Structure 1
Amino acid sequence: MTLTGPVARFRALPLRSRLALLVTVAVTLAVAAVAAVSWVMVRTQLEQQLDSALRSTNASAQANQTLTRLGCQEQVPGAFVNNLSAQVQIVLPTGGRCWVDGKNTLPVTGYDLEVARGKHGAVMYDGRTTDGTPVRIYTQPVEAGTGIVAISVAKPLADIDKPLSTLAWVLVLVSAIGVVCAGAAGLWVARTGLRPVDELTGAVEHIARTEDLTVRIPDHGDDEIARLSRSFNSMTAALASSRDRQAQLIADAGHELRTPLTSMRTNIELLAHSESTGRAIPPEDRRELLASVKAQMAELASLIGDLQELSRPDAAPPGPLGVVPLHEIAGTALSRARLRGPELTFSAELEPWYVRGEAAALERAVINILDNAVKFSPPGGAVEVALRAGELTVRDHGPGVPAEDLPYVFERFWRSSSARALPGSGLGLSIVARTVRRAGGSAELRAARDGGPGAEAVLRIPGAPTPPPAGPSVAADR
């Protein structure tokens, strides 16, 4: 769904501008809320003070004296009002104003009549004088000689409105200054906080432009930006390592392919030259040339198959998984190894062991281990195979592997100096280690434990001596 309007325009802004705008809006709302609450609280306080001043005005006693002394005259000396600092009038039950004093007269309201007639107690309300001035009026009943009358005392609301107006302007000014400062602070915080992101962006753009994976970003601290920088550095390091391995694989593969291709090309050129010149090659030499070409083609096919296997990333999903009998896989591989080394003596002790893995890949790994044993065994030698408690051991009686070469035997295309003259690509043990690792196990090549000649290849794969109970297959659960 495509967004339009203010939301789309907001999202179109740079992240720095969005953060600054959000900070400004948040501070504006907070300042506005504080200003409004402050204004309301001050207004309430001023109103309470004004009401308290009206209630505390001692107009009742003086009004009684005035009623008695002046006989309810319409006007009394202004000194009385000046003492009260308010507008005062006496309301009779008949609705007439018996006594009025102050700068302006007050209209007689229904509230005043109810109080004067004894129907209501004291009341406080907002009203206006006869000339329209807003006032706060307090009317209370008074016992006079002629009965109950109401006395109204009023003070102008300007006593509240003027301070409130001044306060409102002050709050508006302070709020405006606060919003401007908040906007500037938000922009500064956004720039400071996003500076590592800018560095990360610059590094990514540099890598995309130059393909230079050696770039690293400073990752000081433990905050989210530092974690992001460390993750990026780890990613570029992994990419650089992967690219180096890929380049090394291509170089090694090219080197390994060059030898059989050169030999094959030479043999084919000899055969072609014989055909073109009419000089027949002796039958025995021709058979040897054709056998050599066939062997080199088989070596190329094997090398290409190994390269295809290793080209799959470690994270690629394997084939169908299931619980497979490792002892049966080892037995099948042993049968094939006997065909490849008919002059050798094989002994096997295979205890039942069930593992979870890919049957075809595990069989190929075991075959690669047995092929190594056949390749390095002397004529008439023996190969001992044992499977006990999930540990498959293949022992040969060949020249063995020098101790300094043992850490490298599972690397791609690595071949010891004693094995360079023998056929092979140097990928077999690398495939073995990768397959066993995918099954959750480990692979090891070591010197013979009994101190004799030869080497031992050990595969350890977790499993159980009995198959799991019948139920949904492992492959179906994936």
Structure 2
Amino acid sequence: MSPTARFRALPLRSRLALLVTVAVALAVAAVAAVSWVMVRTQLRDQLDRSLLATNPNAQVSRALLDGRCTRPADTPQDIAGNLNATVQIVTSDGAHCWVSGPATLPVTAVDKEVAAGRRRAALQDVTTADGTDMRVYTFPAQTQPGAPVFAVSVAKPLADIDKPLSTLAWVLLLVCGIGVVGAGAAGLWVARTGLQPVDELTDAVEHIARTEDLTVRIPDEGDDEIARLSRSFNSMTAALASSQERQAQLIADAGHELRTPLTSLRTNIELLARSEDTGRAIPPEDRKELLASVKAQMTELAALIGDLQELSRPDAVSPGPLQVVALHEIAGAALSRARLRGPELEFGSVLEPWYVRGEAAALERAVVNVLDNAVKFSPPGGAVEVTLRAGELRVRDHGPGIPDEDLPHVFDRFWRSPSARALPGSGLGLSIVARTVARAGGSAELRAAADGGPGTEAVLRIPGAPSPPPPGTSVVPDQ
């Protein structure tokens, strides 16, 4: 398994703690390294300034006057007082003599160049015969003007700065270790505290999966991402609970609506069956009524099942491909069907061209449902007025009307006004109307007649255009 795969296999809390620890460790290491380099640079600069400030002229003059530097010194001997530095004279041919300090210095090519006058001065690091690292400053000198040039090397041990740097390195290493350990502990605490709402969310999801209890809510205080996630989860569970409640209500209402026609149908069929079993014939007129009743009940059951299938489909699922359709033609076809259902009624219509984007069969069914209501509640010989202007379809009947207190409920599933419960129907027609029109981007309304007369007016508003759009464009203007 690759390191990346192993890292992803860790729990989220461990990954967060590890990332915090690594980030802090890198930051502390970077700060420690920069601090060590800056201190080392400052100490070396300070040592160089100390070498430049050292003045060995008195010791060098005494050594020259005593003749000590006419040949290389085999045995170091302190000629003059302690300068807290090693002083050595070097000639251009590489000969050298020790002036002051604990040990002689090796002669380098840089020293010879300074002694020969080819270089003004130089700073360098050397190592003595006993293994001591020294910082050396070499500069040219003369006993008097016109005299031969020689080089004077002044050196101090690098241990003066190496020991403090070594101590600083151990201190920084200790601080880094403490910082990393502390960062790991802090990262674990931060991960545990920060992921506590996620743990609560996980517990809630597991509880819902185990018990199917959609009433569970988790705290959503604050405005951070966790609070937003909590609010989204609460909204989701509320929506699921509402959907579950609507589903249960739909099943209960459907069972209630199915019970009546099924009971009546079973009764009629049992009467017919008993007649056949006993050999006692039912009078022709009664038999004809029973068969007509069975046929009507079967038709009602078929319509109810179709309505339930329509309402059981999710809102996001379209019943068919959306296309540009002529609403005035759909309304005309629905009007023809309504005339067959109410031959004793007078229908008046004004249908202006209007094109919408939708599913033709669903829209026609919605308009038929509205017209069926108008036919159902119209008195014998009454009139039904249908108009379509600028995307607003109005269907007006002259029936008893709907009480104002019932208007807010007319589009609810299975809701039927007290005056309509004796009439055939399932109470789903207007629900399907509202759903279909909303899917086409419009709205549906049922209200009292605008002129104050008797009857009810149904108004369907669907966005569109008075003429068909060019191919490839939408009939509904962009909002």
TM range (shorter): over 0.9
Aligned-pair distance for 1:94? 2.5
Aligned CA distance change for structure 1 residues 81 and 262 (closer, same or farther; 3 Å): farther
The equivalent residue for 1:54 is 51
Deviates more, 1:92-101 or 1:266-275: 92-101
For residues 330 and 230 of structure 1, the distance between their equivalents in structure 2, rounded to whole angstroms, comes to 45
Task: Tell me the alpha carbon deviations over residues 346-373 of structure 1, each in whole angstroms, 9 at most, x when there is no partner.
Answer: 1111111111211111111000000000
Structure 1 contact 384–395 (Cα < 8 Å) conserved: yes
The equivalent residue for 1:14 is 11
For residues 192 and 264 of structure 2, the distance between their equivalents in structure 1, rounded to whole angstroms, comes to 65
Aligned CA distance change for structure 1 residues 182 and 254 (closer, same or farther; 3 Å): same
Aligned-pair distance for 1:79? 7.0
Within the candidate set 53, 63, 66, 2:63 is matched to 66
For residues 99 and 367 of structure 1, the distance between their equivalents in structure 2, rounded to whole angstroms, comes to 122
The equivalent residue for 1:298 is 299
Query: Partner letter of residue 219 of structure 1?
Result: D
Aligned-pair distance for 1:81? 5.0
The equivalent residue for 1:154 is 155
For residues 98 and 345 of structure 1, the distance between their equivalents in structure 2, rounded to whole angstroms, comes to 137
Query: Partner letter of residue 426 of structure 1?
Result: G
Is 1:30–2:21 an aligned residue pair? no
For residues 112 and 66 of structure 2, the distance between their equivalents in structure 1, rounded to whole angstroms, comes to 24
For residues 276 and 283 of structure 1, the distance between their equivalents in structure 2, rounded to whole angstroms, comes to 17
The equivalent residue for 2:457 is 456
Query: Partner letter of residue 24 of structure 2?
Result: V
For residues 473 and 117 of structure 2, the distance between their equivalents in structure 1, rounded to whole angstroms, comes to 96
The equivalent residue for 2:94 is 95
For residues 372 and 3 of structure 2, the distance between their equivalents in structure 1, rounded to whole angstroms, comes to 71
Structure 1 contact 327–351 (Cα < 8 Å) conserved: yes
Question: Secondary structure of 2:134's match?
Answer: strand
For residues 128 and 81 of structure 1, the distance between their equivalents in structure 2, rounded to whole angstroms, comes to 24
Aligned CA distance change for structure 1 residues 199 and 465 (closer, same or farther; 3 Å): same
The equivalent residue for 1:320 is 321
Percent identity, please.
77
For residues 68 and 186 of structure 2, the distance between their equivalents in structure 1, rounded to whole angstroms, comes to 72
Query: Partner letter of residue 224 of structure 1?
Result: E
The equivalent residue for 2:224 is 223
Query: Partner letter of residue 131 of structure 2?
Result: G
Aligned CA distance change for structure 1 residues 77 and 371 (closer, same or farther; 3 Å): same
Structure 2 contact 106–128 (Cα < 8 Å) conserved: yes
Query: Partner letter of residue 141 of structure 1?
Result: P
Q: How does 1:130-279 map to 2 (within 5 A)?
A: 130-145=129-144, 146-279=147-280
Aligned-pair distance for 1:453? 1.4
Is 1:435–2:436 an aligned residue pair? yes
Aligned-pair distance for 1:473? 6.5
For residues 471 and 343 of structure 2, the distance between their equivalents in structure 1, rounded to whole angstroms, comes to 42
Aligned-pair distance for 1:64? 3.1
Aligned-pair distance for 1:68? 2.8
Deviates more, 1:325-334 or 1:94-103: 94-103
Aligned-pair distance for 1:62? 4.0
Task: Tell me the alpha carbon deviations over residues 318-340 of structure 1, each in whole angstroms, 9 at most, x when there is no partner.
Answer: 41212211111111100000001
For residues 60 and 362 of structure 1, the distance between their equivalents in structure 2, rounded to whole angstroms, comes to 113
Aligned-pair distance for 1:264? 0.6
Aligned CA distance change for structure 1 residues 171 and 431 (closer, same or farther; 3 Å): same
The equivalent residue for 1:447 is 448
The equivalent residue for 1:375 is 376
For residues 81 and 315 of structure 1, the distance between their equivalents in structure 2, rounded to whole angstroms, comes to 101
The equivalent residue for 1:104 is 103
Count of residues in Structure 1 that have an aligned counterpart in Structure 2: 470
For residues 77 and 280 of structure 2, the distance between their equivalents in structure 1, rounded to whole angstroms, comes to 155
Aligned-pair distance for 1:71? 5.4
Deviates more, 1:419-428 or 1:64-73: 64-73
For residues 325 and 85 of structure 1, the distance between their equivalents in structure 2, rounded to whole angstroms, comes to 109
Structure 2 contact 319–362 (Cα < 8 Å) conserved: no
Question: Secondary structure of 1:387's match?
Answer: strand
For residues 81 and 471 of structure 2, the distance between their equivalents in structure 1, rounded to whole angstroms, comes to 104
Question: Secondary structure of 1:136's match?
Answer: strand
For residues 65 and 100 of structure 1, the distance between their equivalents in structure 2, rounded to whole angstroms, comes to 9
Aligned-pair distance for 1:474? 5.5
Question: Secondary structure of 2:80's match?
Answer: helix
Query: Partner letter of residue 116 of structure 1?
Result: A
Structure 2 contact 79–100 (Cα < 8 Å) conserved: no
Aligned CA distance change for structure 1 residues 335 and 77 (closer, same or farther; 3 Å): same
The equivalent residue for 2:287 is 286
For residues 86 and 102 of structure 1, the distance between their equivalents in structure 2, rounded to whole angstroms, comes to 6
For residues 438 and 324 of structure 2, the distance between their equivalents in structure 1, rounded to whole angstroms, comes to 16
Aligned-pair distance for 1:61? 5.2
The equivalent residue for 1:387 is 388
Deviates more, 1:220-229 or 1:62-71: 62-71
Task: Tell me the alpha carbon deviations over residues 224-254 of structure 1, each in whole angstroms, 9 at most, x when there is no partner.
Answer: 1111111001000000000000000000000
Structure 2 contact 77–99 (Cα < 8 Å) conserved: no
For residues 76 and 9 of structure 2, the distance between their equivalents in structure 1, rounded to whole angstroms, comes to 75
Question: Secondary structure of 2:350's match?
Answer: strand
Structure 1 contact 81–88 (Cα < 8 Å) conserved: no
CA RMSD of aligned residues (A): 1.6
Structure 1 contact 406–445 (Cα < 8 Å) conserved: yes
Aligned-pair distance for 1:274? 0.7
Query: Partner letter of residue 144 of structure 1?
Result: T
Aligned-pair distance for 1:56? 1.2
For residues 373 and 68 of structure 2, the distance between their equivalents in structure 1, rounded to whole angstroms, comes to 136
TM-score by length of 2: 0.95
Aligned-pair distance for 1:101? 2.7
Question: Secondary structure of 2:427's match?
Answer: coil
For residues 177 and 81 of structure 2, the distance between their equivalents in structure 1, rounded to whole angstroms, comes to 44
Structure 2 contact 126–134 (Cα < 8 Å) conserved: yes
Aligned-pair distance for 1:313? 0.7
